[in-house]
Amino acid sequence: MAARKGRRRTCGTGEPMEAESSDARTEGPAQVYLPGRGPPLREGEELVMDEEAYVLYHRAQTGAPCLSFDIVRDHLGDSRTELPLTLYLCAGTQAESAQSNRLMMLRMHNLHGTKPPPSEGSDEEEEEEDEEEEEERKPQLELAMVPHYGGINRVRVSWLGDEPVAAVWSEKGQAEVFALRRLLQVVHDPQALATFLRDEQARVKPIFAFAGHMGEGFALDWSPRVSGRLLTGDCQKNIHLWTPVDGGSWHVDQRPFVGHTRSVEDLQWSPTEDTVFASCSADASIRIWDIRAAPGKACMLTTATAHDGDVNVISWSRREPFLLSGGDDGALKIWDLRQFKSGSPVATFKQHVAPVTSVEWHPQDSGVFAASGADNQITQWDLAVERDPEAGNAETDPALADLPQQLLFVHQGETDLKELHWHPQCPGVLVSTALSGFTVFRTISV
């Protein structure tokens, strides 16, 4: 998309675009490519990334692909924009065999910004200096891992006081909690990491596990308001509440919250009320619950047909009374919880041409959110944006003319996108996981 200026979105041929396609057989100008809009790529054409549209862009692979990950909050400070960046991820693999899976802690550091292209008149000495600088700017990755029997469907991290923990949904039907302190320690020390991988990793076990679900699941969320409170939802339509107890353990209520008629796909605690949460399901509904009521009577509000088909993901805004949802229909919908009883979203956006796989509100900017889809697009949106009436030349390209005004940026180039998260301490930085690996980037638009 075009660069974001203030709170307006402007489209113009002189603005940097997010991706280009160029025909290898011709010398014609590069064109903007958007899935589902305009002609598909022809044989001999390829997508070319416009590096000027990115402030930061890095990719990493960890062997087996990861369906899910979470960003681990660190002690390096909030609102940090100075490069190079350091960040920590906790991820779980989906390997070909159950015994080959791992729960991983990634330390990604020395993440520099995108580099301007070399000037045409650069000489050999400048090129040698560039090579030295390139070596210094290489991104670094440290990886600590522990064995996990079975693929990991979802990972969510929380701090319980000073202790970092990860809740994990296993394809084997168990929901587990792992302590992360040791993994966070060893990714800082190569010698300690080698010792850990050699002597300790095989002995690491979950500090708690619940096998009371009737099968595997994906839905999982830690309360942002009550330390240690956890929800897990399974593919058999049931949701269970975990309450922390003394001694670093949990009491899991055996009585499920009932209401959904098919798989529970995602869960989100309210950021403002201790006892309220939202759920979405393959039954096409979104429900709001209050745990103060008995589990069989806790569903307070329902929108029965929130999407045309499965509702895959939801995100509850930390700053506004808005819930964001994404479905198999490719639609993104925004629900004002003050009007939820009406059953109608306050906004619907249709840019994705395949199921939406992940959605998340920006942690600081209340109108901004991101989404990923099975169409291999990551889209960035801003509800506050309006079209610039002076930027009329966007309408000369039919592929751009009917884009939603609020669409800021389309990122492409990944394969089989699964999940994305904004970094809560590095404004504008997005991290995604896909079959093609992890991507860390920041665009000029957010």
Provide the whole-model pTM.
0.90
Question: How high does pLDDT run on average in the chain?
Answer: 89
Is residue 333 within 8 Å of 316, Cβ to Cβ?
A: no
Instruction: Say what percent of the chain tops pLDDT 90.
Output: 79
Burial class (CB in 10 A: 0-12, 13-18, 19+), 44: exposed
Q: According to DSSP H, which parts of 3-50 are helical? A: none
Among 45-49, 112-116, 221-225, 355-359, the range scoring the smallest mean pLDDT is: 45-49
Q: Which long-range contacts (CB under 8 A, 24 or more apart) does 367-373 make?
A: 367/320, 368/408, 368/446, 369/315, 369/324, 370/420, 370/422, 370/430, 371/326, 371/332, 371/420, 372/417, 372/418, 372/419, 372/420, 372/432, 373/326, 373/330, 373/417
Q: What is the mean pLDDT of residues 110-132?
A: 73
Domain boundaries of the chain, sorted by first residue: 55-114+137-172+174-208
Q: What pLDDT is attached to residue 125?
A: 65
Q: What pLDDT is attached to residue 138?
A: 95
pLDDT per position as a tens digit, 35-46: 777 677 788 877
Q: What pLDDT is attached to residue 123?
A: 63
Residue 87 pLDDT greater than 90, yes or no: yes
pLDDT per position as a tens digit, 193-218: 999 999 999 999 999 999 999 999 99
**DSSP per-residue letters across 86-150:** EEEEEEEE--SSGGG-EEEEEEEEEEPBPPPPPPTT--HHHHHHHHHHHHHT--EEEEEEEE-SS
Q: Cα(108)–Cα(142) distance, rounded to whole angstroms?
A: 7
Q: What pLDDT is attached to residue 242?
A: 98
The amino acid at 407? L
Q: What pLDDT is attached to residue 126?
A: 66
Q: What pLDDT is attached to residue 12?
A: 26
Residue 176 pLDDT greater than 90, yes or no: yes
CA 23 to chain centre: 32
